[in-house]
Amino acid sequence: MLRIRPARAGRAARTGAGWVRRGCLAPSLMRYYAGQGFTLVREQPRGAHRLFLLARRAERIDLASWDLHEPIP
């Protein structure tokens, strides 16, 4: 399972950015990001692949409820 690095969680909101953007080539990673609240904005051909461009509004993340001592597999 992928995890957000605690130091980066909410960084966009803290720095005043309105949006967080992601780009990827793997459909499985695009689905993961969609499950994290990202919306597919555009698909573009990229050679033999497709580039998925996603975005979501920046928001502050409360890390107090996270178990940051749990090992990451």
pLDDT tens column, 20-71: 889 999 999 999 999 888 999 999 999 999 999 999 888 777 666 666 666 6
Structural domain count, the chain:
1
Per the rule left: phi > 0, alpha: psi between -120 and 50, beta: everything else, 47 is left
Q: Is residue 22 part of a domain?
A: yes
Which residue reads 């107090």 in tokens? 64
Q: Which domain holds residue 43?
A: 17-58
> If you ran DSSP here, which 8-state letter would residue 3 be given?
-
Q: Is residue 31 part of a domain?
A: yes
Radius of gyration of the chain (CA): 14
User: CB-based contacts of 21: which residues, under 8 Å, 6+ apart?
Assistant: 41, 53, 54, 55
Q: Is residue 41 part of a domain?
A: yes
- 40 closest CA partner among 32, 29, 52: 52
Can you give the pTM of this predicted structure?
0.66
Q: Is residue 43 part of a domain?
A: yes
